[in-house]
Structure 1
Amino acid sequence: MARRSTVQRDPRIAGDPELSAYPDFPDDPDLGRAPARGRGASRGRWSGGGGRWLVWTGRAVLWALIVVIVVNGVRAPFERFTQQNAPSGAAPASDSGFPTAQGSAFATQFAEVYLNFDGARLEERRSRLAPYLPEGTEPQFGWDGFGRMSAGAVQPYGIEVVDADNAVVTVLYQSDNRRQLLSVPVYHDRSTKRFVVAGRPGILPAPKAAALPPKAAPERDRAAEQELRTPMEDFFKAYAASDTASLQRYADAGITLEGFGGAFTFLQLKELAVPLGGGATREVTATVLWGVPSKARQSTDPEPADPGQMEGKLEQAYLLTVVKQGDKWFVKDIRGAYRSVAR
C-alpha cells in the first residue's frame, strides 16, 4: 500500500503551467501569507548589485595611477637621452641667453694682446688690438705708448652676465711675480653672432694663495721602505731613459710603462714613504731628484757663466701602486702624489 505524500501542493501550481515548472517546496507556515507592509516589513537579502559603482570607480582610479607612472617612467629617460645627444656646436648660454663660453674665449684672447706692450713696437700692438675694438676707438685703447709690460698664463676666471647682449669677463694672468685679474666688458651682437670689447678693461689684484693646514704624518713601514728602496731606484733609472726591457722587469703583468725617453736623468731617490699595513699591495710615495739637461758643450769648454747652460736639478713627488709577488716588488701604476705634509 503506497503512502501518501506529506508534501502539500499549492492548488495554484497545478493550475498554472508556468508555476508548475518549479519544484515542490516543503511546508512553510508563511507560505500563502500576504507580504508584510510598513516599517516592520523585512527586506530581502542584498544581492551586491548596488555596490558595483564603487568597484568600477576604484578600478578607474587604479588604472589612472598606472598610466601616470608608466608615462613618467618612459618620459624621464627619453628627456635625458635627448639632452645628452643635443648638438654641442653652440656654446653654452646663460639663462639670459648670453653665450658665456664664446664670450670668455674672446675676452681671454683680447687680454693676451692688451696686457703685452712695448714702446718700441707701437704699430704691432695697434694692429693686433684692432680686431677686438669698436670702429673709431683710440687704437692703443688707453695706453700712451711709453713703457713696457709682459703677461702670460692668461686664463678665464669668471663671467658676470648683465643681459642677453652684455657681460663682464674676468681673466687671470701672471705678470712678473704677480698674479692679477683683468675684467673686460664684452658686447655680443646676436644678429651677427660677433663680439666686441665694449669699454675700458680694469686690472684687479688676484686672491692670495690659501693657507695649507698642517697634516699629521702617517705611521711608516720602515722594513718595507728598506726592502723597496733598491727596486725603486732601478725602476726610476729605467723610467728616465725609457729602457723598455728594464721597465718590463719592474712592471706588473699586463702593465706598460713609457718613461721620459732621456728628457731627464735620474739622480737620487730622496725619500720613500710606505704607510704601515696594506698587505701585498701598497701605495708608496717617492720623492725623486731629476737632472735637467743643459745645452750641449765640449768637455774642454770653461764652466759656463749662464746658469741656463748648466745642468739643473728638479725635485718631484710621485705616488706608486706596487704589488709584491714572492720576494719581488712590481709597479702597477705611477702618478702624481697627493698633498704632502705641511711644515
Structure 2
Amino acid sequence: MLGLPDAADWDERKKRREKKTLQSASALPKQPVNPWERAAEQLKEQRTAPTLAAPAPRTAAAPEPAAPWVTVEERSGSAFARRFGRGVLWTLVAAFALLGAKSVLIPKKTPAPVQSTAPAQAGPTYPDDEAQAVAGRFARAYLSWDEKDPETRAAALAAVLPEGADTKMGWDAKGKQDVLAVEPGTVTPAAQQQARVRVDVLVRPVDSAPPAKPGAAAVPVLPAHWVGLDVPVVQAGGRVVVTGPPGLVGVPATGPKAPQLAGPEADSAFGEQTAETVDKFFTAYAAGGDTESVTAPGAFVPPLPAGISLVGVTSWTADKGSGTDRTGTARVMWQLGGAQLEQTYRVQLTRVASADAQRWQVASVHGGTA
C-alpha cells in the first residue's frame, strides 16, 4: 500500500546488508589494535627474514697526482687595478681610432691667412730732441764771432764738438756778427748713428771798423736775415755731438701752397643771437680785468697783457649745430705797438640756465681756425 515495501522485505534487505559487511571485514588483513603489538610483529618478521650479504668493502681510490703549481687567490685591490688599467687602455685605443676616422672622413679646414693690421715694431728711434738741442747750440756759436774776442766762440764750440776737434771751424778770425734767434728743425737719420739737423738762424752782421766818434755804437753792415744750416751730428758714448763743419743752405722765401680747406656751414640766426655775447667777452679780455662775468662757470681764460686795446670784433660767424655747446669764428682787430692787427679766434659758447633766465657764455677761446 502506498508503494512502500513490506516488513518482510525490509528485514530481508537488512540481513543481506549485514552479511556483505561481515564479508568485507573478513577479507581485510587483521590489524592489531595495540601499536606495541604491531611493532612486535614487525620485529619478528625482520628476524625471520633471510640475512642479506654484507656489502663488499670499498677499495680506496688511488690519490690524484698533485698539480705542478699552487693556485693563490688574488686580492681584490690588485684585481680592480688590473681591470681598471685595461679599461683605460681600451678607452684610449677607441678614442684614437675615432679621431683617426674623423680626420679621414672630415678633413680639417685650413683657415685663410689673416692679414695683420698691427703696425710693425719699429727699431730704436733717433734721439731727435737731443740732436736738435746740440745742433741749435752749435749753430749759435758757429755763426757768432768777434775778432776782438775769439776765445768766447771757441769755448762755445768745444762744448758740442768731439774732444780734440778744431774749434776755429774754418773761421779766419775777422769780422763781427751777432745771432738773434735759432730755430732747430727736421732731423734726418743716416747710417752709423749719424743724422743731419736743419737749423734756421737769424743773424745780423756788424761793421767791425772803429766808429767815427768815440763811444758810438757799431753800425750793422746788413739788416738781420735768416740763414739755413745743415748740421751733421752723431750719437756716441751716450751723447750727440757735431762731427764736422756744417753747410750753409738757403731759406725759402715763401711756404708751400696750402690745400683748399672746407670751412664749417654757418648758422646766421644763431650768430646774430650771440654777437653781443662775443663783443662783451673780447672787451673784457682786452681790458686785462676780470673775465668771470662773461665766461661760463668753471671756465678759465687768462687776460691779455697790458698795452693791448680792442678796436672791435670785425666779424662773428657761428657754426651750424645744436645742443648746449656751440662754436664759431671771430675776427678781432687789436691796437698794439702803434699799429692795428687783425687776428682770428675760435670761440666755444655754452648755454647757462638759471632760475629766471638762460643765456650763452664763453666756455673757451683759442687762436687760429683749427
TM over 0.5: yes
Per the alignment, residue 184 of structure 1 pairs with 231
Are positions 1:107 and 2:153 aligned together?
Answer: no
User: Any gaps of 5 or more consecutive residues in structure 2?
Assistant: 1-86, 99-121, 204-223
CA distance in 2, matches of 1:54, 1:181: 82
Matching residue of 1:228:
274
Evaluate the alpha carbon distance shift between residue 135 and residue 213 of structure 1 in structure 2; reply closer, same or farther with a 3 A threshold: closer
Q: Note if 1:155 corresponds to 2:199.
A: no
SS of equivalent residue, structure 1 residue 125: helix
What corresponds to 1:338 in structure 2?
A: 369
Structure 1 residue 289 and structure 2 residue 327: aligned?
no
Larger gyration radius, structure 1 or structure 2:
2
* 3-state secondary structure, aligned to 1:132: coil
Paired residue type of 1:183: D
Amino acid at match of 1:117: W
Contact 1:172 1:206 in 2 (8 A): no
Taking a change above 3 Å as real, the CA distance of residues 151 and 327 of structure 1, as seen in their structure-2 partners, is: same
Letter in 2 for 1:284: G
Say whether 1:316 aligns with 2:343. Answer: yes
CA contact (8 A) 1:318 1:335 kept: yes
How far did residue 211 of structure 1 move? 0.8
Number of aligned residue pairs: give it. 236
**Paired AA for residue 52 in structure 1:** L
Alpha-carbon contact 1:105-1:156 (below 8 Å) kept? no
1:235 deviation in Å? 0.9
| Paired amino acid for 1:163 | Q
Q: 1:98 to 1:238 in 2, by over 3 A?
A: closer
Cα separation, partners in 2 of 1:179 and 1:55, compared to 1, 3 Å: farther
Supply the AA of the counterpart residue of 1:199.
Answer: G
| Structure 1 position 147, deviation (Å) | 5.8
Q: How far apart are residue 182 of structure 1 and its match?
A: 2.0
User: Pick from 143, 152, 156: which aligns with 1:124?
Assistant: 152
Deviation, 1:154, is 2.0
Task: Please state how far the C-alpha of 1:316 moved relative to its aligned partner.
Answer: 1.8
Question: 1:304-332, CA deviations, whole angstroms, 9 ceiling, x for partnerless residues?
Answer: xxxxxxx2323221111112345521111
**Deviating more after overlay: 319-328 vs 227-236:** 319-328
CA drift at 1:116: 2.9
Whether 1:142 and 2:136 are equivalent positions in the alignment is: no
Counterpart amino acid of 1:205? G
* 1:216 positional shift: 4.4
CA deviation after TM superposition for structure 1 residue 226, in Å: 2.3
Aligned match for 1:250, one of 294, 305, 309? 294
- The 3 A distance-change label for structure 1 pair 101 and 262 is closer
CA distances 1:51-105 after superposition (whole Å, capped 9, x unpaired): 43565999xxxxxxxxxxxxxxxxxxxxxxxxxxxxxxxxxx974x975543442
Distance, in Å, in 2 between the alignment partners of 1:170 and 1:56 is 67
The change in CA–CA distance for 1:117 and 1:257 in structure 2 (over 3 A counts) is same
- Superposition pairs for residues 13-92 of structure 1, below 5 Å? 50-53=90-93
Q: Which residue of 2 aligns with 1:7?
A: none
Task: Report the equivalent of 1:266.
Answer: 310
Provide the C-alpha distance between the structure 2 equivalents of 1:104 and 1:280, rounded to a whole number of angstroms: 45
Q: State the Cα distance separating 1:287 from its structure 2 match.
A: 1.2
Between the aligned partners of 1:205 and 1:142, the Cα distance in structure 2 is: 20
Partner of 2:260 in structure 1? 214
Q: Check the 8 A contact 2:143/2:177 in 1, yes or no.
A: no
Shift of residue 252, structure 1, vs aligned partner: 1.5
Shift in Å, 1:222: 2.4
Closer, same or farther: CA 146–138 of 1 in aligned 2, 3 Å: farther
1:185/1:48 CA distance change after superposition, 3 Å: closer
Counterpart secondary structure, 1:185? strand
Task: Kindly indicate whether the alpha-carbon contact (under 8 Å) linking 1:94 and 1:100 is maintained by their aligned counterparts in 2.
Answer: no
TM-score (norm 2): 0.53
Asked whether the 8 Å contact 1:173–1:180 carries over to 2, the reply is yes
Unaligned 5+ runs, structure 1: 1-46, 59-92, 295-310
TM-score of the superposed pair, with normalisation by structure 1: 0.57
Code of the residue aligned with 1:185 in structure 2: it is P
1:204 equivalent among 231, 243, 249: 249
- For 1:184, the aligned partner's letter is V
Q: Percent identity?
A: 25
Distance 2:159 2:368 in 1: 44
8 Å contact 1:252–1:330 — kept in the other structure? yes
